[in-house]
Amino acid sequence: MTLLRSATAALLFGVSPASAQTASTQNTNAPAVAAAVAAMPVTAAPAAPDLGAMLRDAQRYTVKVRATVNWPLAPEQFGTGQGTGFVIDRAKGWILTNAHVAKRSPAAVEVALTDSETDWLPVERLYADNFLDIAVVKIDPEQLPPDATQARLGCGEDIKQGSAVVAYGHPINLTFTATRGIVSSVRTLGYQEFVQMDASINPGNSGGPLLGVDAGAVIGVNTANFPGAPGLGLATSIRHVCPIMDLLARGEDPTVPTLPVYWLKQGRNETLTVAAAFPNAGDVGLRTGDVVLGIAGGRKAGGLPDLITALRGRKESVALAVRRDGAEIEVKAPLVAAAPSLKRQALTFAGLLVVERQALDQEPTVLPPLRIEFIKQGEAAARAGLQAWDYLETVSGQRFRSVAALHDWLKARPSTEKVAVMVRRHIASFDRRIGAEYHRFEIAPSDLKLLTAGD
């Protein structure tokens, strides 16, 4: 019975059962123990986070975002989609969301600030990242409600497994909804770092804030769930988003340049071990087997996500700390500039969308530079038999290297005059040595238009 009472005391007062049993049997020292207890300083327990206040604040900075795409750049699709965003700079009217919500294709993007299904306001797309699923849109600050606030970003928060989180947003048109859970893990998938949580997220949550309850700040941007796997959601880690915001605020381009090397892959993730240099890249400073430790003189990179973040804002070349043959050395490596996502160009005519083939590694190839990305059903191109992912071998016998050059050539011709389009199409041939076939079509370049992704 004494042991039972001791164990109960341990559970109630946070004392181990062994300690409770020992205290109950050493009666001769009771006065001394009492004096020692009385002399112990009393420390107030930390105040519990006010979750209600946190969610009321979230409602004042969270918005609905929708985008309508008529000419989709892969992997995006035709139509209208909807998600969530949240104000990160009230004075500038900046709203953070997912790139797959705001789109990287030419699109009309709008936000709604209330429950209303009709009061949508057009916004400008300021930025869409080329690595992370992150975009920033801009609204006139005067259009924000008077009580609108901005989210506090937990850029330096240490995200711990098991800590409480709340996913906030507009799942399945159920506006301003909060779901609670814990951090299941912080993990790297591919080249991105995610906060994995069991808080329920659904279509419509994308782009919304993931709140750290203890931190009282945004620790992630809700990004994805896995159909058929309830309790498994992913948010883009905010610590990799904050440097993007800092560069944008300084008027600099955060688009990530590329080191011209292939990384050795282990399982689903790429390591910081160099596998090979890009073909025809010349001397890149790095060798097969080199392990990149980080930027020379900077913080050690814990993985590829850290290195990518450290490369933001850098141009032309970078000095790297590298481990080679057991020794740490400094290596200067060139950087391959990446075009900003929203400046990508495309050409439309006769119901087809043509883009430039993107290949950072510049590997020698027989593929033509231009490709059909999308075909509108019912339009002239579809009726003629052209297909998405056909490569434009020639147009009237000429090969064009850019959509701008093709646009200018077509614009100089009558829109009703047909041109001969030769395309290369990948096939599963009966002869396995042959992987392509060629088709010739004649089509009038009606409704000719040069587009930019940010339009």
pLDDT tens digits along 145-196: 999 999 999 999 999 999 999 999 999 989 999 999 999 999 998 889 999 9
pLDDT of residue 9: 35
Pairwise CA distance, residues 97 & 85, whole Å: 4
Pairwise CA distance, residues 303 & 288, whole Å: 18
Q: Write the pLDDT tens digit of every residue in 413-436.
A: 998 999 999 999 988 767 767 888
Q: What are φ and ψ of residue 284, in 5° steps?
A: -100, 5
pLDDT of residue 40: 45
Pairwise CA distance, residues 265 & 358, whole Å: 22
Residues of the chain with CATH 2.30.42.10: 261-334, 344-452
For 390, residues 6+ apart whose C-beta sits below 8 A from its C-beta are 371, 372, 423, 424, 425, 439
Please give the structure tokens belonging to residue 117: 């299904």
CATH superfamily of the domain spanning 344-452: PDZ domain (2.30.42.10)
Choose between 312 and 7: higher pLDDT.
312
pLDDT-derived band at 17, boundaries 50, 70, 90: very low
Q: Write the pLDDT tens digit of every residue in 230-287.
A: 889 999 999 999 999 999 999 999 999 999 999 998 887 789 999 999 988 889 999 9
pLDDT of residue 374: 97
pLDDT of residue 362: 62
Question: Tell me, which fold does domain 53-254 have in CATH?
Answer: Thrombin, subunit H (2.40.10)
pLDDT of residue 429: 66
> Under CATH, which number does the domain 261-334 receive?
2.30.42.10
pLDDT of residue 45: 47
Q: Write the pLDDT tens digit of every residue in 75-116.
A: 999 999 999 999 999 999 999 999 999 999 999 999 999 888
Pairwise CA distance, residues 243 & 226, whole Å: 28
301 touches 308 (CB < 8 A): no
62 touches 208 (CB < 8 A): yes
178 touches 166 (CB < 8 A): yes
Q: Write the pLDDT tens digit of every residue in 340-384.
A: 999 999 999 999 999 998 877 766 677 899 999 999 999 999 999
Residues of the chain with CATH 2.40.10.120: 53-254
Choose between 288 and 361: higher pLDDT.
288
DSSP collapsed to 3 states, 23-47: HHHCHHHHHHHHHHHHHCCCCCCCC
Find how far residue 158's CA is from the centre of its chain.
Answer: 20
Residue type, 319: A
Find how far residue 110's CA is from the centre of its chain.
Answer: 20
Average pLDDT of the chain is: 88
Find how far residue 33's CA is from the centre of its chain.
Answer: 58
pLDDT of residue 397: 95
pLDDT-derived band at 123, boundaries 50, 70, 90: very high
Nearest CA among 343, 384, 336, 390 for reference residue 361 = 336
Q: Write the pLDDT tens digit of every residue in 28-65.
A: 444 443 344 344 454 554 566 789 999 999 999 999 99
